Structure 1
Amino acid sequence: MKSLTEIKNDIIPTEQHKYGLEYHCFVPLTINNEKVINHFILFCKNTGLLIKYDEQNKIFNYEKLPICPALSDVTSYSFVHLYDFIFLFGGKNTIRQERIKKIYKYSMKEKTWNECKLTLPMEISASLAILSDDNTNVHVIGGRNIKDEKEKMHVSVNVDQLFEKAELLKMIQELKKEIKILKLERSYTIPIEKERMIEDEKKNNDTVAIPEECKKMKTQ
């Protein structure tokens, strides 16, 4: 088993809070759903940070990110990240000691927070959220309920339900732009487009048979 090597002893510049940093959300930064090397996002209560690590100089850099006012005292939420969004499920308000069933999302591109229209079926904290293999569903499992008891819960949430219609349309438009760029940058065509081009070429190369009557008329 490989031992760990300390690369840098640093203190994360968190905002002051009565209960400090605990049960936080920590995910990689993504652009167009691709991970950015050594860039991470941290959210916990009233702290939001983009953490960048410079491997060459072994230095951490921090950039403050906007926090969701409704979550400034909330922790113990489960979370997933997908399509440059972070989704937070449920959680516990550490000041009021109340659990919530709301779902919030953070846009890495826009740096904005929004509350999803969809909610969990019950108030829950300390659950586990995991994406399905095909990224079409989020499974929210277990946790502690409003009575602070262990909850045997398994909720499957369709990813489409977490987005607004306008957001889905925007993602489709961005995907179309990316495909257009790929067509311009690459010497080959996308398979579907290539198949269509081959079919068009076949149609253009097909010879039209001239009726015998027309041939006789030409020779007369």
Structure 2
Amino acid sequence: MCGIQYRAYYLWREEYKEICKYPDGLELEGHAVVKCEVSEDNKVLTVLSFGGENKHTLLMKYRSVWDENEVKRVKEKEEEEEENKWIAMANTIDNGSNGNESDMEDARAQIGGSNNQFLFVVNNPNHISVFKWPSLEPVIREILPADQLIGGSCFVKTNDNQMLLFNSNIGLSIKYDEDQHRFQYESIPVCFELTYVIDYSFSLLFPSQKKKWTKIKYRFPSTNETLALVTADGMFVHIIGGVNDCEEASQQHLKISIDDVTGKVTFLFLFFLFFFLSSFSFDTKRYFCKKKKKKKMVRLEMMLALLFNTGYYKVA
């Protein structure tokens, strides 16, 4: 989990532990953090932090801070390993071309390819790029078939070279051809309630075969700018942090059973959790925040389940 402090959360102990802090002087605004690869012994996880207002590109080799014996062993080594620290990379991620700077705030990224050898990056106003991983050598940069991305998109990988992108009224299925280095795009329907939404916190569980949007009945506490994570076993979703309507940081951490949200299901489906930080543009829906003495747009807090089946997946 990222803020100025980078922390680990132990599911079984329900405890947090600090890993490290971001470099001094680095202001975090709209950056992306991506899980890249796991070592063969399954003990070291590579994490990439990039983009944002300051366009940083940092790498961390994370080793569990919960294994006391492992932590002690690393500390006792004569040569200090560059683990559990943010290290600046020699190459940076910037989707600008021909000397033009790109907007890397609210960028989204996924590691993909047949051997996880590519980093796919989507950023405003409407760009998608491919970089070789881990060298970050640019491969291709294209303009998406969309006029303008607003805020942070929902950008998830459904298989090695196929992704889904949602942003406001934009819905795209994106397929990358490794041999030809080309993208193929297909428009996909967007639920009406999402057309006014910007900035997503989302999680992908598993795919299915029908195209259907379903609004679930589960009612969530009012949350803005939260982090949504699904456990590796797909049993629980964790909703962490966020701010209240007066822009004050929240310390909340909610744990919710997937079965409680969706009901028990016996088929595969693609399930997104959207915690919308969306601001509506209707002047009639303004309110007055007394504590901070300022007006701001009413925000829609809702939770939708997306039963979106693209028909591309075959159940074994």
User: In the alignment, does 2:174 pair up with 1:51?
Assistant: yes
Match of 1:6 among 132, 138, 141: 138
Is 1:121–2:244 an aligned residue pair? no
Question: How many residues of Structure 1 are paired with residues of Structure 2 in the alignment?
Answer: 138
Identity among equivalent positions (%) equals 35
Partner deviation per Cα, 1:142-189 (whole Å, 9 max, x = no partner): 112222322221111101122245xx1445xxxxxxxxx98xxxxxxx
Q: Does residue 203 of structure 2 align to residue 74 of structure 1?
A: no
Give 1:145-184 correspondences, 5 Å limit.
Answer: 145-164=244-263, 168-171=265-268
Q: TM-score of the superposition, structure 1-length normalised?
A: 0.57
Mark the CA change 1:125 to 1:77 in structure 2 (over 3 Å): closer, same or farther.
Answer: farther
Letter in 2 for 1:149: E
SS at match of 1:7: strand
Report how far residue 133 of structure 1 moved: 3.2
**Which structure 1 residue ranges, 4+ long, deviate > 4 Å from structure 2?**
none
Q: Against the structure 1 CA distance between its residues 76 and 136, is the aligned structure 2 distance closer, same or farther, given a 3 Å change threshold?
A: same
User: Per the alignment, in what secondary structure is the counterpart of residue 260 of structure 2?
Assistant: helix
- Within 2, Cα distance between the matches of 1:38 and 1:170? 24
In the other structure, the counterpart of 2:151 is 22
TM-score (norm 2): 0.41
Unpaired segments of 5 or more residues in structure 1? 30-35, 85-107, 172-180, 183-220
Q: Sort the Cα spacing of 1:155 and 1:163 in 2 relative to 1 into closer, same or farther, 3 A.
A: same
Q: Is the 8 A contact 1:141 1:154 kept in 2?
A: yes
Q: 5+ unaligned residues in a row in structure 2: which ranges?
A: 1-88, 90-133, 269-314
Matched-pair contact (CA < 8 Å) for 1:45–1:71: yes
Residue 149 to residue 109, structure 1, CA distance change in 2 (3 Å):
farther
1:160 partner SS: helix
Structure showing the higher helix proportion among its residues: 1
Whole-angstrom CA distance in 2 between matches of 1:154 and 1:113: 27
Distance (Å, rounded) in 2 between the aligned partners of 1:53 and 1:159: 31
> What is the distance in 2 between the residues matched to 1:52 and 1:136?
29
1:131-142 matches, cutoff 5 A: 131-142=230-241
Identify the residue that residue 7 of structure 2 maps to in structure 1: none
Report how far residue 15 of structure 1 moved.
Answer: 4.8
Query: CA RMSD of the aligned region, Å?
Result: 2.1
Once the two structures are TM-superposed, the CA of residue 56 in structure 1 deviates from its matched residue by 0.5
Please state whether the residue corresponding to 1:80 is helix, strand or coil.
coil
Query: How much has 1:67 moved relative to structure 2?
Result: 0.5
Residue range with higher mean Cα deviation, 137-146 or 7-16: 7-16
Q: Secondary structure at the match of 2:233?
A: coil
1:144 to 233, 239, 243: 243
Q: Distance in 2 between matches of 1:143 and 1:111?
A: 31
Whose radius of gyration is greater, 1 or 2? 1
Classify the secondary structure of the residue corresponding to 2:140: coil
Q: What SS does the corresponding residue of 2:215 show, helix, strand or coil?
A: strand
Q: Which residue does the alignment assign to 2:43?
A: none
